[in-house]
Chains A and B, each alone.
Chain A
Amino acid sequence: MLEKRTMTLNLTPAEMEVLEGIARRKDVSKTAVIRQALRLYQLVDVRLSQGEKLFFEDELQKKKSELMVLG
């Protein structure tokens, strides 16, 4: 079992609503959503810092759009 640390997270009602919505939709706890968000952020950040770009692709519509990430 990995060591865990506790923190208080202050969110606006809108942010909390989004967090709860994702947790509900994905059937996971809010903590799990935050953890996943951290992983995803780290993954995207590492790739962008290596000069790569992030795209969303819609195979059916043959559409590809670059996602702009503010550093």
Chain B
Amino acid sequence: MSTHPTKLKRAATGDLVDAVLHDSLDLDDLFDAEKHWAPEKIEMSRELLNHNVPRALWPQSLHWNWAKKAVDLKPYAPGPLSAHRLFGISAEGKWQGLLLARCVGCQTRIAPGGRDLVYVEFVETAPWNFRIPQTGRDTLFKGVGAQLVELAIRWSDELGFRGRVGLHSLPQSDSFYGGHCGMNDFGPDPNYQNLRYFELDESHARTYLQET
């Protein structure tokens, strides 16, 4: 696994904290993440219930389970020459965010079609980085998602795909991908639970890498 030093901003103080980007995780790392994330999500669910927060406002990835994803991923054997690749960012001894991407079988929807891209299957920040105003929870670290997306863009570039990246977004993240990331919004995809499909074109990928 190759690693690169980076920084994350502690939301409460604005301090920059040492962090590490990992660009090739193995399945065991997913179990490590889930070991810490699951108890936090259970506590978060309890808070959401106790504060009578409507289900529509709950974090939409609350039910995700990276240990289960590790089991499902086993036949695809993530590795240097695999179609799948796992990225992560760690700080203070814990995984702060994870991203699973695939580079085979995904083509751009931006004309002219047929060109390959990196498709982000799942990306999630650690539950302590969720912001839930209704329960008084604030983000611990900011900027996790943006750095993970950058890793996916760099992988796309390395593959010769010129930074093209596509994904289906959970509704709570639509504004992040359409706004912060500058991705093209193709609207709800009837073939994918009506989640909006977003795609980063080459020009926006270059801008993204220059700005980060």
Contacts and interface: CB of A to CB of B under 8 A. Distances in A.
Do chains A and B stick together as partners? yes
Interface stretch (B39-47, B75-83, B122-130, B141-149): B75-83
Interface of B: 75-77, 80-83, 103-105, 114-116, 159-162, 191
A40 B83 CA distance: 7
Contacts of B162: 27
Q: Is the interface of A mostly helix, strand, loop or mixed?
A: helix
Which of the four size classes fits the interface of chain A? 10 to 19
B159 A26 contact: no
Given A36-B103, A36-B104, A39-B103, A28 B83 contact: no
Interface of A: 2, 25-29, 31-32, 35-36, 38-40, 42-43, 46-47, 50, 59
B193 to A, nearest CB: 15
Contacts, number: 46
A29 B50 CA distance: 56
Given A26-B116, A29-B160, A32-B159, A38 B75 contact: no
Nearest to A25: B114
A39 B114 contact: no
Contacts of A59: 191
Closest 8 CB pairs of A and B: A32-B160, A28-B160, A43-B83, A27-B115, A26-B115, A39-B83, A40-B104, A29-B160
Given A26-B114, A36-B116, A2 B160 contact: no
